[in-house]
Chains A and B, each alone.
Chain A
Amino acid sequence: AQSVTQPDIHITVSEGASLELRCNYSYGATPYLFWYVQSPGQGLQLLLKYFSGDTLVQGIKGFEAEFKRSQSSFNLRKPSVHWSDAAEYFCAVAPFTGGGNKLTFGTGTQLKVEL
């Protein structure tokens, strides 16, 4: 069975500082990987996704993530955080075979941005 671990429950960074949110997955084959963001009281918005090819993927709002197969990781990064990035971030994995695109989510990382 697939699983996702986000080891950091809360992270606080200063505005303008760099950010890295960690994500480790467990899956027996090549996974599809996703990062979603959820602002308070809202649904989830897709930041970026990895299906195949280049292991460094670019997303919206200046985010990027790098797929490292050897480490089973898919960490999210942003070089300079803005106050509006404060939200909860979820990493997710779906089976490569499609599997109905059933996503398995991590428990989320709550990002706080200090001005």
Chain B
Amino acid sequence: DVKVTQSSRYLVKRTGEKVFLECVQDMDHENMFWYRQDPGLGLRLIYFSYDVKMKEKGDIPEGYSVSREKKERFSLILESASTNQTSMYLCASSHGGANTEAFFGQGTRLTVV
């Protein structure tokens, strides 16, 4: 089975802290994604990566950055956490090309106080 693992289920951070959310996949997928999920808004794409060291902005990249130094790992970075970044963060991965589906991690519930 494909496994996408997010390092933390729950995180509580203070305003202004630098926050790292880690995601690892074990299926040699080319694509990896970070989504943010908020009630009534569904999932919104923050960033995605289609190869090592490659990244593209999604729909809501402001306040976030990403890092992909190895194919299996994709990190989301909040440079200076703010309370409006309190949310559920979901990582996903998929093979490159067409006709593929995305597999999701369990999510990280981040609270910024």
Chain A residues positioned under 8 Å from B97 (CB to CB): 98
The answer to whether the Cβ of A107 comes within 8 Å of any Cβ in the partner chain is yes
Number of interface residues of B (CB under 8 A): 29
Say yes or no: A101 contacts B102, CB within 8 Å.
yes
A-B contact count (CB 8 A): 64
The answer to whether the Cβ of B31 comes within 8 Å of any Cβ in the partner chain is yes
Say yes or no: B90 contacts A101, CB within 8 Å.
no
Partner among A44, A101, A104 whose Cβ is within 8 Å of the Cβ of B94: A101
B interface footprint on A2-22 (CB within 8 Å = 1, 0 otherwise): 000010010000000000000
Give the bracket for the number of chain A residues in contact with chain B.
20 to 34
Partner among B43, B48, B103 whose Cβ is within 8 Å of the Cβ of A105: B43
Cα–Cα distance between A96 and B58 once the two chains are bound (Å): 18
When C-beta atoms are compared, the residue in chain A nearest to B30 turns out to be A100
The answer to whether the Cβ of B19 comes within 8 Å of any Cβ in the partner chain is no
Chain A residues positioned under 8 Å from B40 (CB to CB): 9, 107
